[in-house]
Amino acid sequence: MPAKAIVLVALLALIGPRTALASSPATIKVDLRQAPQAIFHADLSFPAKPGPMRLAYPRWIPGDHAPAGPIENLTGLVFSANGATLPWTRDPKELDQFEVVIPKGATRLDIHLDFLAVPAIARAINPASTAATDTLAVLRWHTVLLYPMGVDIAQYKIEPSVLLPDGWQFACALPAQSSAPNPSFAPVTLEKLVDSPLLTGRYFATYQLTTKLPIRHTVHIAADDPADLVVSTEQQQALARLALEAHAMYGSWPFDHYDYLINISGKLRERPSIGGQEHGESSDDTGGPGVFTTATGKESVGDTLSHEYSHSWNGKYRRPAGEKVHDYQQPYDDSLNWVYEGLTTYLGHVLAARAGFWSLEEFYDEWANEAAAMNCRPGRVWRNLQDSATSLPTLMRAGAGWTSWRRSADYYPEGALLWLDVDVTIRKLTANRRSLDDFLHLFLAKQPGRDPTIKAYDFAELVADLEKVTPNNWALFLHTRLESHASDAPLGGLTQSGWRVTYSSQENAFEKADEGADTVSADFSIGANIKADGVVQDVIWGGPSFKAGLGPGMKILTVNDRTFSLATFRAALDETAATETRSAAATQSVRLLISNGGPTRVIAVSYQGGQRYPRLERTGQDTDYLAEIAHARSPNTSLNTSPNANPGTTSNAASDAHTGNAK
Ligand SMILES: [Zn+2]
């Protein structure tokens, strides 16, 4: 034994190894090697004192806005101290809290747990919260975390590390201190850990975006099929422009690097579209096969990536006071989600256009679809926009069926229409000299340059910042729209821009993408939404199908005496439209043979007008503020992407790129 080691052993004997261990930080080690079997193992260790100790499994998850912690999949719990197993009890009223008694002489509590990364049947919220396939996984730390009750998640630090399956690469917004297969990270606060998911997979690609900004933007993709790792040069350029346009729009940076973490798997998402969840320095997006390589994915790629990116400003850096909490067990006050999600939905649409993901025509189509959908919400007469935000956790649990009466997460699309109204109103009041961008520079940039400190906001601050842009009694403006029980959606942004919603027999591309190949949306004709197998997904409250007695869950067997298919259904709608040869003889109704338990029966839906899908139509010569809003702001149009893009690579380039970011 070398002399130095002997001295160390003597020193340890003197101060006692337990003292040394007790002062070391909490640790969490996650073993993902059984991820393909949907099993994540975790070992945690916390400094502890003798006596009762209470631990909690995170319940209220940031970004979910709801008590969505998947406690039902927490299994295999073992608490121990000094190698001896400890008995534990669960709080019979707070089912995500556990109590153990730390024995005398012990200075740490060790915990083993197994998280089952399988979907919960009843979990409508973020159904992809358990992402694991044969070739990729997403580690969302809150799923494998127990933490001591009473600590402040913004202060309490924990040291994370992960064990990956052989040959898998990874990316994470936290700077890694070691590479695959055993990445480790410096101690971080619980808040930062839960905000920093880790993407890992066998097939992995990394694209470094060149934006001429002093902030590194990187796209990481793990896909079940290597063909899905390809992001075209045009899409990379749009992502680079997104950073420039966001900078021009918001005027600040809440991060010093940003990582898009994207998993693409047919197991996790069937259609070529993408959904995501926001984090301060990264996204966590789940796409279906073909999302980057087919035209169908275009709407959601532009919208979702712009939306989640914008959340770094609105939602993460600036956050409603009711969602700025000290632990994960306190319920949120969700009443400002028409700002957190509604404003971000608006920003996502605008940036999708400004960055060039969408054409101006597609921007118009998106607003047509959103305005028409929110005009089909008779439930507004009892539940206003404000209540759709306030009751978010209950609405997130709702399935399909009578959505137009119950309402849904309408604070997204109706919130976006509200913010369009705000933007256009500012422009009209100031002869187009000011816009929502001026408000965002005040509201989303509370100090110049980079500001990494979370700052809570409330209604009063929001109104005060709007008044600074242009006086307009904004409190009244907002209250009127938030509390409206009118049958129509707040469409002032469209009408003041010289647009109105009208209908044609042709779907626009975005509506087709939303609808998918397996459903037909007849919301705006007979007032129903039907799946390819004939099952009625939903019926518009008060519409022609509602009046005829159709309801969600019924199955249509025949339509006008022909076997039901999406084609025969569309043809039956067409037959109700007057044409040159059929003006007088157009069918007056659509006859449906339905099964709903009991004997089959015929329902006749009284309707004329053919297929109807929304689009925008000019109403006059008013300034087209929609076109003004969609116009790119950033003067820096000279963009290129780095030649370092390495789709399909099997090297460690991804993790290397990441470890290079030790800031
Ligand atoms: Zn969002």
CATH 2.60.40.3650 fits 21-164, yes or no: yes
Give 308 Cα–ligand 1 centroid separation in angstroms.
Answer: 6
Give 278 Cα–ligand 1 centroid separation in angstroms.
Answer: 7
Give 267 Cα–ligand 1 centroid separation in angstroms.
Answer: 23
Q: Tell me the residue length of the chain.
A: 663
- pLDDT tier at 14 (50, 70, 90 boundaries)? very low
Give 411 Cα–ligand 1 centroid separation in angstroms.
Answer: 10
The 10s digit of each residue's pLDDT in 609-637 is: 999 999 999 998 889 999 999 999 986 54
Which among 96, 43, 103 is positioned nearest to 73, based on CA atoms? 96
Give 511 Cα–ligand 1 centroid separation in angstroms.
Answer: 20
Question: Mean pLDDT across the stretch 523-550?
Answer: 97
Instruction: Using the predicted structure, report yes or no on whether residue 464 has a pLDDT greater than 90.
Output: yes
CB-side neighbour CA atoms (13 Å) of 468:
13
- With a CB cutoff of 8 Å and minimum separation 6, the contacts of 295 are 509
Determine how β-strand 562-563 pairs with β-strand 555-559. Answer: antiparallel
Instruction: Using the predicted structure, report yes or no on whether residue 491 has a pLDDT greater than 80.
Output: yes
Give 66 Cα–ligand 1 centroid separation in angstroms.
Answer: 13
φ, ψ for residue 613 (rounded to 5)? Answer: -135, 145
Give 633 Cα–ligand 1 centroid separation in angstroms.
Answer: 23
Give 279 Cα–ligand 1 centroid separation in angstroms.
Answer: 10
Q: Where are the domains of the chain?
A: 21-164, 525-611
pLDDT of residue 451: 77
Give 227 Cα–ligand 1 centroid separation in angstroms.
Answer: 28
Q: What is the 3-state secondary structure (H, E, C) of 577-595?
A: CCCCCCCCCCCCEEEEEEE
pLDDT of residue 447: 79
The alpha carbon torsion through 190, 191, 194, 198 (nearest 10 deg) reads -90
CATH 3.90.420.10 fits 525-611, yes or no: no
Helix ranges (DSSP H) in 492-622: 492-495, 509-515, 544-548, 566-574
Give 345 Cα–ligand 1 centroid separation in angstroms.
Answer: 7
Give 274 Cα–ligand 1 centroid separation in angstroms.
Answer: 13
pLDDT of residue 22: 54
Give 337 Cα–ligand 1 centroid separation in angstroms.
Answer: 9
Taking phi over 0 as left and psi of -120 to 50 as alpha, with beta for the rest, 88 belongs to beta
Give 65 Cα–ligand 1 centroid separation in angstroms.
Answer: 10
Helices 413-429 and 474-482, interaxial angle, to 10°?
A: 150
Question: Mean pLDDT across the stretch 552-561?
Answer: 97
Give 311 Cα–ligand 1 centroid separation in angstroms.
Answer: 7
Instruction: Using the predicted structure, report yes or no on whether residue 105 has a pLDDT greater than 60.
Output: yes
Instruction: Give the least confident one: 216-230, 522-536, 639-653.
Output: 639-653
Instruction: Using the predicted structure, report yes or no on whether residue 657 has a pLDDT greater than 60.
Output: no
Give 64 Cα–ligand 1 centroid separation in angstroms.
Answer: 9
- pLDDT tier at 8 (50, 70, 90 boundaries)? very low
Give 480 Cα–ligand 1 centroid separation in angstroms.
Answer: 24
Mean pLDDT, the chain, integer: 90
Which among 500, 582, 659 is positioned nearest to 173, based on CA atoms? 659
Residue with tokens 């030790």: 662
pTM exceeds 0.85, yes or no: yes
Instruction: Using the predicted structure, report yes or no on whether residue 187 has a pLDDT greater than 70.
Output: yes
C-alpha angle 588-589-590 in degrees, rounded to nearest 5: 145
Q: What is the rounded distance in angstroms from the CA atom of residue 10 to the CA atom of residue 45?
A: 26
Percentage of the chain modeled with pLDDT above 90: 80
Around ion ligand 1, which residues have CB less than 5 A away? Answer: 341
Q: What is the rounded distance in angstroms from the CA atom of residue 251 to the CA atom of residue 442?
A: 9
Give 463 Cα–ligand 1 centroid separation in angstroms.
Answer: 21
pLDDT of residue 9: 44
Q: What is the rounded distance in angstroms from the CA atom of residue 524 to the CA atom of residue 189?
A: 50
Q: What is the rounded distance in angstroms from the CA atom of residue 260 to the CA atom of residue 207?
A: 10
